[in-house]
Amino acid sequence: MYTAHPDRYADMPYRRTGRSGLKLPALSLGLWHNFGPDRPAETQRAILRRAFDLGVTHFDLANNYGPPPGAAESALGDALRADLAPYRDELVISTKAGYLMWPGPYGEWGSRKYLLSSLDQSLARMGLEYVDVFYSHRPDPDTPLEETMGALHSAVQQGKALYVGVSNYSAEQTREAARILADLGTPLLIHQPRYSMLDRRPEDEGLLDALDELQVGSIVYSPLEQGLLTGRYLDGIPEDSRAASDSPFLNSDAVTEDLVGRLRALDEVAKSRGQTLAQLALAWVLRGGRVTSALVGASSPRQLEDSVGAIRALDFDAEELARIDAIVKG
């Protein structure tokens, strides 16, 4: 029988999400890649237990996480029943809908029919009565935003979600989504964009500015840029890496000689701070408090522990930030 560590809240910083009452851990666990039938169930449960013991109280999912789609939610459901059910009120569990989940015209995008049907399926897989946060995973170009946001509002009204969020929305779309939700009486809690030292679109395209203006929280995915911002690629492409498999999320063509040189230079910055490259990358997205939480994946408890080590040094001086910018921007 699992018993959570008594000091699980001693070290992890928790940040208020926008202007809400909800606080998230600086690091949250994403179940995007490493939770499904192709991984040992005991390893998955061990990662979730270790995360909670380290103060990582937020588990982030989507209906299509796996593979196959739905597998990550089922894996979390198994872990909740086996280990974490007594701690449900200490956990923030989020899921999303927007990408292809089942055949036919009602199995993806942003219609009311799809979003609310998907949420019911997600709750069944996880064995939950509600999720803490339900997201529209991507904007739908063919469905009125009023319908998509209305479905999120309905999820809250039905007691199936406590808060709502959006992911992969532009600054302009986020402003409009927030306006519609405010009119309905369900505030927009959070936005989940892709953001890292190597991918600065949320800065460059004004999304972070919009979130500040709206007082909406943010949780960023791929802060380690699909593993590039770890020590794995400092000597090229390892045979067992994501890039070597030409994953749809990272292929070998992306790992150029120039990029490897930049990664090595960033690793030197990390060493000067007493951090691993992954810890540097996580600390960078969390710098200054504009980002509420950073999502990390983990294939083992040890990998998760390395990521959580980032919280020991979240501050940067101006010289360090300038050095990082010079390396990344050239």
Is 145 in a helix, a strand, or coil?
A: helix
Residue type, 61: L
> pLDDT by residue (tens digit) across 123-146?
999 999 999 999 999 999 999 999
> pLDDT by residue (tens digit) across 298-309?
999 999 999 999
Strands (E), 32-187: 58-60, 92-97, 131-136, 161-167
Burial class of residue 21 in the structure, from the number of CB atoms within 10 Å of its CB (0-12 exposed, 13-18 middle, 19+ buried): exposed
Q: Which residues are within 8 A (CB) of 1 and not within 5 positions of it... i.e. 6 or more apart? A: none
Read off the tokens for 127: 């064995």
d(CA 165, CA 169): 10
Q: Name the strand (E) or helix (H) holding 219.
A: strand 217-220
Task: Kindly write down the DSSP assignment for every residue of 97-137, as one continuous string.
Answer: E-S--SSSTTSSTT-HHHHHHHHHHHHHHHT-S-EEEEEE-
Tens place of pLDDT per residue across the chain (330 aa) = 899 999 999 999 999 999 999 999 999 999 998 999 999 999 999 999 999 999 999 999 999 999 999 999 999 999 999 999 999 999 999 999 999 999 999 999 999 999 999 999 999 999 999 999 999 999 999 999 999 999 999 999 999 999 999 999 999 999 999 999 999 999 999 999 999 999 999 999 999 999 999 999 999 999 999 899 998 888 876 665 555 455 565 566 678 889 999 999 999 999 999 999 999 999 999 999 999 999 999 999 999 999 999 999 999 999 999 999 999 998
Torsional sign, CA 268, 270, 274, 279: negative
- DSSP assignment, residue 250? B
> From the CA atom positions of the chain, what is the Rg in Å?
19
Share of the chain above pLDDT 90, in %: 90
User: First CA to last CA across the chain, in angstroms?
Assistant: 53
The pTM of the whole model exceeds 0.85: yes
Helices (runs of H) and strands (runs of E) counted in the chain: 11, 10
d(CA 4, CA 10): 13
- Of 115, 142, 134, the residue nearest 188 (C-alpha): 134
Helix axis angle, 145-157 to 171-184, nearest 10°: 50
The torsion defined by the Cα of 123, 129, 132 and 138, in degrees rounded to 10, comes to: 30
